[in-house]
Amino acid sequence: MPNKPTLTQKQKKAAALATLVLFILLSLAVFWFVGRPMVRFAKEPELFRQWIAGLGLWGKAVYVGMCMLQVVVAIIPGEPLEICGGYAFGGVWGSILCMLGLFLGSVAVFWLVRRLGQPIVEIFFPPEKLDKLHFLKSSPKRNFLFWLIFTIPGTPKDLLCYFAGLTDLRWGTWLLLCTAGRLPSVLTSTVGGSALGGKSYLFAALVFGGTLLLSLVGLLIYRGVCRHHEKARKNPEEPED
């Protein structure tokens, strides 16, 4: 059997660069032609539900694909989609379909980052944001911190999703952490959306009000954790958690 041709280091770099450029162009096109209309559409839950219902059995598959796309093209906000999932499918099915889409998106992002490295992450996030998470590469409590930050509503989950690929986390560990961590946030959004769909406006207001409060607290905790570890890095004589 003839030996398979092997690429030189220069050819590998050129192939990686070409893939990166293609991904950038594809992401921009998807955001412009799909992402923006999708978000505008998702802000009108009743119209979204009617559109999904008109797709029949394909409606669920389309919604899963939209949730997956939101993770990969990180500049597309996820909250409107999660709320619409509950509005269109109810709290249970909305949560299941949304989590499936987010899981598939997380798989795609992790694979892309492992293949292309930091340049693909910097398409969506500036280096200073990545630098704030540097402690997650070496902290002895890294798995717990990943789970904690993912669990708290309001934290930058898309940033963490891309950053995880830059660490040495194993596939199984990462997918378990991000799936378990996302569940509370998805549940509150889809349950709130379901309440809106059922015209239970008071309950929906309580859910969204509670989620907003938790999000504000979560952001404070996230920033506090980042500041603590940044201070520990600048003062190495102080033990890092």
Q: Could you read off the pLDDT of 64-89 as tens digits, one per residue?
A: 888 888 888 777 777 888 888 898 89
The pLDDT value given to residue 53: 82
Contact partners, residue 106, CB within 8 Å, separation at least 6: 71, 161, 174, 175, 178, 179
Name the residue with higher pLDDT: 222 or 18.
222
pTM: 0.78
Predicted pLDDT of residue 1: 45
For the chain, list the strands marked E by DSSP: none
For residues 217 and 195, give the distance between their C-alpha atoms in angstroms, rounded to a whole number: 24
Place 140 in a pLDDT band, splitting at 50, 70 and 90. confident
- How many other C-beta atoms can be found within 10 angstroms of the C-beta atom of residue 50? 11
Residue 78's pLDDT is 78
Query: Which of residues 111 and 17 earns the better pLDDT score?
Result: 111
Residue 46 pLDDT greater than 90, yes or no: no
